[in-house]
Amino acid sequence: MFFDGFQLKHVTVRGGSIRLRHGGSGPPLLLLHGYPETHAMWHKVAPQLARDYTVICADLRGYGDSSKPRGVPGHANYSKRAMARDMAEVMAELGYLGFHVVGHDRGGRVTHRLARDYPKRVRSITVLDISPTLKMYQSTTRAFAKAYYHWFFLIQEAPLPEKLLQGHVPGYILSRLGRGPSKLNHFDKRAVAEYVRAFKDPRTIHATCEDYRASATIDLVHDRKSKTRIKMPLLALWGRQGVIEALFDCLADWREVATDVRGRALQCGHFIPEEKPKELLLELRRFLRQNP
């Protein structure tokens, strides 16, 4: 079954309401999804991890069924700092002041900010198929802009991208999910239906544009001001068939901002938890055992 044994919950934080599923027992482990998905992306790995951990799968602010506030000038309410604060408050509300975090894509960027802003709470971080945001923008080339065109499309001033995207769901969502060589073969139809449902809401389209606008503006300010290196253990995994492998040096990039970095490429594209769940589970279990 889909998330068998997990409970659905909404937790109120200063920024609104965060939808999550939680299950299992053991050390707390927070899983954060990427774009254009919801917490449903963890359905292949969360139940397995719940055998040894208390697993919390949350919808980021603006995604799924979490709150979708209107963007403000400067995009501060969709900064990764604001989104990380949501998650720190969620975990505190659940009774966890120390926890591990795994983040894919946008969730990885929130994970990065959690490590910076809450170093006494975050025990370890795992980032999936990303290099640091500042490094990626500083390294922009024609090849990167072509491969990640949505980074530059979604940051355009509202309401241009919002207007262009409305009416193009599910086509747009399916095109983002299926951009790798395996197309949509690895995606459960129930999960895809959840992503499409969420993006049919115009508020989700606006909120996710604001997420990207924040990454190109206020997030870069915060990253430039963060001079202290991340000290907790960091695992970086990326897809050998993806853009990170082709255009970046993922381990070197993370070693510029963190002191304890390890990781490797997996034989897949961008959506690691859905494309290679068994391999991801092996890597996570090894890493988490080594860093309790």
Catalytically active residues, by annotation: 105, 270
Region of 111 on the Ramachandran plot (φ > 0 left; ψ -120 to 50 alpha; else beta): alpha
What 223-228 contacts at long range (C-beta under 8 Å, 24+ apart), as own/partner pairs, is 223/132, 223/133, 223/134, 224/134, 226/116, 226/257, 228/116
List the Cα angle 85/210/102 in 5-degree steps: 45
Contact status, residue 39 vs residue 13, Cβ threshold 8 Å:
no
Contact status, residue 240 vs residue 288, Cβ threshold 8 Å:
no
Question: What residue spans of the chain are helical by DSSP H?
Answer: 46-49, 80-93, 106-117, 133-138, 142-147, 149-153, 160-165, 171-177, 189-199, 202-215, 218-225, 243-247, 250-255, 272-275, 277-290
Strands of the sheet with 54-58, listed across from one edge: 7-13, 16-24, 54-58, 28-32, 99-104, 122-128, 234-239, 261-266
Peptide bond into 273 cis (omega under 30): no
| Short-list 92, 111, 137, 94, CA closest to 34 | 111
261-275 as b/e, with b when 16 or more CB fall inside 10 Å?
Answer: bbbebbebbbbbbbb
User: Under DSSP, is residue 108 helix (H, G, I), strand (E, B) or coil?
Assistant: helix
